[in-house]
């Protein structure tokens, strides 16, 4: 795992960029918008997987940094005229700073305590977005202008999709690099056993804090991406429900693997769309069916879709 990128790891981002640039020629606005939604889910889920799947820490605060990213890029662009790419970098630095503080405060916590502390942090952040009217516009939300990309202004679904595809490719590449880095290995060691990791000379606190900061930076980028393809954001985007949805994506797809995370975010992202268009007169049962699918997929595949696929192929290999 350690070392330079494999062939497929370099090819995937390149493929995504090419596909992302070409797809808008063939797809309609509906498909492109849906594509944008799914791309943001993938970036958010990749980020959440860094702290949960790679470092094994149960953190709910992702959604808060998603909100910080969205509001920071939106405010920088609307009020101060900062172009999106520069605004996004500033937003990432800002949220990394906040994430560092949260990590320092919560690094002693393990297991469910960290989960609960971050639930509280996310809920408090959402409350702040609702209450701090002078900055966020409060519950009235913020109307967004088309994003200023320095060289051009992104006005259409097609150009929004292209921008998002490029960002996705970058974030995916960074994710591969992280996994293969020293830090990535240290994170995996902590996930497997904190005790063994610290004995073998890994600074557990520092590694956990870094995992948290990087994971939060991904969420912040996801928030920035939300601003690119939407004309309106309000605090309702950052409630507990999307936080649960993200967690679901990770678990349904399979934590700790890029393929699993991508599969999970695409499946759970598209599921409401499928349910909505297939359930017809039974649409009132949608919430129930969604819950049922969730429980069934967890009980049948606790390691996720990818975990199941991997187990199948491994057992086949060992059988022959």
- Binding to other proteins, residues 15-74 (CB under 8 A): 24-26, 28-30, 33-34, 37, 52, 56, 58
Nearest residue (CB) to other proteins, 153 versus 231: 231
Residue in 18, 81, 93, 143 binding other proteins, rule: CB under 8 A: 143
User: Binding to other proteins (CB under 8 A): which residues in 89-118?
Assistant: 105-106, 108-113, 115-117
Per the CB < 8 A criterion, the answer to whether 218 and 43 are in contact is: yes
Nearest residue (CB) to other proteins, 15 versus 113: 113
Give the nearest distance from C-beta 25 to other proteins in angstroms: 4
Region binding other proteins by CB under 8 A among candidate stretches 73-81, 124-132, 170-178, 181-189 = 124-132
Written as one string, the DSSP assignment of the chain is --SSPPHHHHHHHHHHHHHHHHGGGTS-HHHHHHHHHHHHHHHHHHHHHIIIIIT-----THHHHHHHHHHHHHHHHHHH---HHHHHHHHHHHHHHHHHHHHHHHTT--THHHHHHHHHHHHHHHHHHHH-HHHH-GGG-EE-PPEE-SSSEE-SHHHHHHHHHHHHHHHHHHHHHHHHSHHHHHHHHHHH-HHHHHHTT--HHHHHHHHHHHHHHHHHHHHHHHHHH-SEE-GGGGSHHHHHHHHHHHHHH-TT-HHHHHHHHHHHHHHHHHHHHH-GGGGGGHHHHHHHHHHHHHHH-TTHHHHHHHHHHHHHHHH-
Give the nearest distance from C-beta 303 to other proteins in angstroms: 7
Nearest residue (CB) to other proteins, 94 versus 107: 107
Residue 127 sits in the site that holds other proteins (CB under 8 A) = yes
Q: Which residues neighbour 191 within 8 Å (Cβ) at sequence distance 6 or greater?
A: 53, 54, 55, 56, 256
Region binding other proteins by CB under 8 A among candidate stretches 125-133, 166-174, 213-221, 258-266 = 125-133
| Count of residues in contact with other proteins, rule CB under 8 A | 77
Per the CB < 8 A criterion, the answer to whether 67 and 129 are in contact is: yes
User: Binding to other proteins (CB under 8 A): which residues in 149-188?
Assistant: 157-158
Nearest residue (CB) to other proteins, 177 versus 308: 308
User: Binding to other proteins (CB under 8 A): which residues in 188-247?
Assistant: 192-193, 230-232, 234, 236-237, 244, 247
Residue in 23, 130, 174, 204 binding other proteins, rule: CB under 8 A: 130
User: Binding to other proteins (CB under 8 A): which residues in 258-297?
Assistant: 272-273, 276-277, 283-295
Nearest residue (CB) to other proteins, 95 versus 118: 118
Residue 298 sits in the site that holds other proteins (CB under 8 A) = yes
Residue 312 sits in the site that holds other proteins (CB under 8 A) = no
Residue 310 sits in the site that holds other proteins (CB under 8 A) = no
Tokens coding 17: 């960029």
Nearest residue (CB) to other proteins, 148 versus 234: 234
Distance CA 70, CA 280 (A): 35
Nearest residue (CB) to other proteins, 192 versus 203: 192
Nearest residue (CB) to other proteins, 12 versus 123: 123
Residue 319 sits in the site that holds other proteins (CB under 8 A) = no
Per the CB < 8 A criterion, the answer to whether 43 and 171 are in contact is: yes
Give the nearest distance from C-beta 276 to other proteins in angstroms: 5
Nearest residue (CB) to other proteins, 131 versus 153: 131
Distance CA 200, CA 236 (A): 45
């Amino acid at each position: 795992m350690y070392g330079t990128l494999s062939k497929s790891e370099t090819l995937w981002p390149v493929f995504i960029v090419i596909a992302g640039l070409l797809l808008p020629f063939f797809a309609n606005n509906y498909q492109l918008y849906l594509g944008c939604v799914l791309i943001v889910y993938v970036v958010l889920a990749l980020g959440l997987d860094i702290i949960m799947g790679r470092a094994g820490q149960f953190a709910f605060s992702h959604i808060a940094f998603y909100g910080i990213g969205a509001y920071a890029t939106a405010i920088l662009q609307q009020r101060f005229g900062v172009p999106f790419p520069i605004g996004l970098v500033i937003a990432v630095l800002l949220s990394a700073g906040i994430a560092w503080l949260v990590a320092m405060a919560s690094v002693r916590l393990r297991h469910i305590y960290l989960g609960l502390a971050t639930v509280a942090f996310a809920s408090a952040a959402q409350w702040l977005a609702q209450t701090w009217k002078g900055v966020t516009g409060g519950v009235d939300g913020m109307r967004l202008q088309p994003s200023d990309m320095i060289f051009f202004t992104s006005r259409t679904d097609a150009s929004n999709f292209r921008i998002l595809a490029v960002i996705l490719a970058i974030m995916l590449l960074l994710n591969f690099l992280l996994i293969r880095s020293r830090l990535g290995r240290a994170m995996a060691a902590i996930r497997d056993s904190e005790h063994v990791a610290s004995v073998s000379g890994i600074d557990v606190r520092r590694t956990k804090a870094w995992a948290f900061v990087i994971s939060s930076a991904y969420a912040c980028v996801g928030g920035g991406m939300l601003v690119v393809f939407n004309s309106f954001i309000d605090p309702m985007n950052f409630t507990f429900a999307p936080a649960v949805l993200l967690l679901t994506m990770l678990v349904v797809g399979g934590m700790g693997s890029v393929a699993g995370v991508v599969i999970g975010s695409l499946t759970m992202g598209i599921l409401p769309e499928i349910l909505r268009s297939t359930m017809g007169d039974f649409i009132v049962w949608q919430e129930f069916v969604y819950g049922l699918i969730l429980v069934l997929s967890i009980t049948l595949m606790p390691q996720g879709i990818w975990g199941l696929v991997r187990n199948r192929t491994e057992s086949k290999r060992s059988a022959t």
